Amino acid sequence: LLEIIRQDVEHEPSRIAVLSSLTEGSEQALALLLSTHDPFRTQVTAGRREFVRQLAALTGSYNEKSRISAALRLAGESNLQEGWRISILDGLADGLSRVQYSQGHDPAMRAAIEGMLRSERTPLVRAALRVAAAVGISDSAAQAAALSRATKRALDENLSLERRLEEVELLALGSYDEAANTLLALMEPRQSLDLQVAAARAIGQLRDDRTGRAALSGWRRYSPQVRSAVLNLLLGRTAFHELLVSALEKKQLAFGELNLNLEQRRRLLWHSTEDIKRRAAALFGDQEFSNRKKVVDQYLPEVAHLQGDPAHGEMQFRTLCAKCHVLGNIGTAVGPNLNMAFSKGQEDLLTSILDPNAAIEPEYTNYLVTTKKGDLITGIIKGETPASITLMRANGESDSVLRNEIKEVRTDGLSLMPEGLEQGLKRQDLADLLAFLQQHHD
CATH number of the domain to which 400 belongs: 2.30.30.100
Q: Do 106 and 19 fall within a single domain? A: yes
In a domain, 80, yes or no: yes
Last residue of a domain, one of 113, 139, 165: 139
In a domain, 262, yes or no: yes
In a domain, 345, yes or no: yes
Against a cut of 0.85, is the pTM above it? Answer: no
State how far the Cα of 392 lies from the Cα of 86, in Å rounded to an integer: 26
User: 156: alpha, beta or left, given left = phi > 0 and alpha = psi -120 to 50?
Assistant: beta
Last residue of a domain, one of 104, 139, 174: 139
Q: Do 340 and 306 fall within a single domain? A: yes
In a domain, 283, yes or no: yes
Q: Do 366 and 350 fall within a single domain? A: no
Q: Do 280 and 307 fall within a single domain? A: no
Q: Do 127 and 15 fall within a single domain? A: yes
Last residue of a domain, one of 139, 170, 197: 139
In a domain, 168, yes or no: no
| DSSP code string of 169-232 | HHHTTS-HHHHHHHHHHHTSTTS-HHHHHHHHHHHTTS--THHHHHHHTTGGG--HHHHHHHHH
In a domain, 209, yes or no: no
| Domain span including residue 103 | 2-139
In a domain, 145, yes or no: no
In a domain, 52, yes or no: yes
Quickly list H helices, 217-363: 224-236, 241-249, 255-258, 262-269, 274-283, 292-304, 310-320, 346-354
Would you call 62 helix, strand, or coil by DSSP? coil
Task: Print pLDDT tens along the chain (442 aa).
Answer: 788 888 888 888 888 888 888 878 889 999 999 998 888 888 888 999 999 999 999 999 988 999 999 999 999 999 999 999 999 999 999 999 888 888 888 899 999 999 999 999 999 999 999 999 999 998 889 999 999 999 999 999 999 999 999 999 999 999 999 999 999 999 998 898 899 999 999 999 998 999 999 999 999 888 878 988 999 999 999 999 999 999 999 988 877 678 777 678 888 888 788 999 999 988 876 555 556 788 888 999 999 899 999 999 999 999 999 999 999 999 999 999 999 999 888 988 998 999 888 777 778 888 889 998 888 899 998 988 777 889 999 999 999 998 888 888 887 778 888 888 888 889 999 999 999 999 876 6
Total domains in the fold of the chain:
4
